[in-house]
Copies of this chain bind each other. A is one copy, B any other.
Amino acid sequence: MATQTKDWILECALTLFNEQGEPNTTTNAIATEADISPGNLYYHFHSKQDIVEALFDAYEQRLLDILVTPPDRAADLDDIWLLLHLSFELMGHYQFIYRDLTDLCTRYPKLHHRFMGIMRLAKQTATLMADDLVDSGIMVATKNERDAMVENILLISNFWLANDRIRSPKGTIDPARAVAQTIEILKPFLIPPARELLDSIGSRYH
């Protein structure tokens, strides 16, 4: 029962954070949304920071699961598309984190530290996948080109949500479109048959 209330509070907080931004959401507003008293909310979470951290915990856990799934073979284009798709959908679910990432990292140094850990893992996974594509002969790119590719993919991954929000503040987000846009970074390095394969993978997700 206590766990149920706790989860319900987190769900309501996530809705408000995503809709109006975490800095603009008070714990009282969360209590109102959850239809519980501020005292009851305080029993479960002593501060807004506790709520933010609990949501970040859940996000981090799910993202790490996506990033560390050990491949039992060399990664192919399908794996890359799926990984980006799952990650971007998850980011959309927790979009308040990416709405003002700099601000969040400034106000919550502990989360900033953990975010940097996620980034290191993401970079490692992306680099391994790029290496696999080259080893499989479907991508032609030097080590420097792969490094630059990975940097740009990570940057776009972190900011596509903020970019969408600026271009269309009230619009619904579209992770599938963002994945397709991100994948353009590696596309020119693929050999022609692999480029065509990529287009056919993309059409499956739309």
Contacts and interface: CB of A to CB of B under 8 A. Distances in A.
A197 interface: no
Contacts of A112: 166, 169
A156 B165 contact: no
A112 B188 CA distance: 33
Contacts of A160: 155
In the assembly, how many copies of this chain are there? Answer: 2
Interface in A174-201: 181, 184-185, 187-189
A42 B3 CA distance: 52
Contacts of A169: 105-106, 112
Interface string A147-171: 0110110011011101101110100
Nearest to A103: B100
Given A151-B181, A159-B162, 11 more contacts: A100-B102, A101-B162, A102-B165, A106-B169, A112-B166, A145-B188, A148-B181, A149-B184, A152-B152, A155-B163, A159-B163
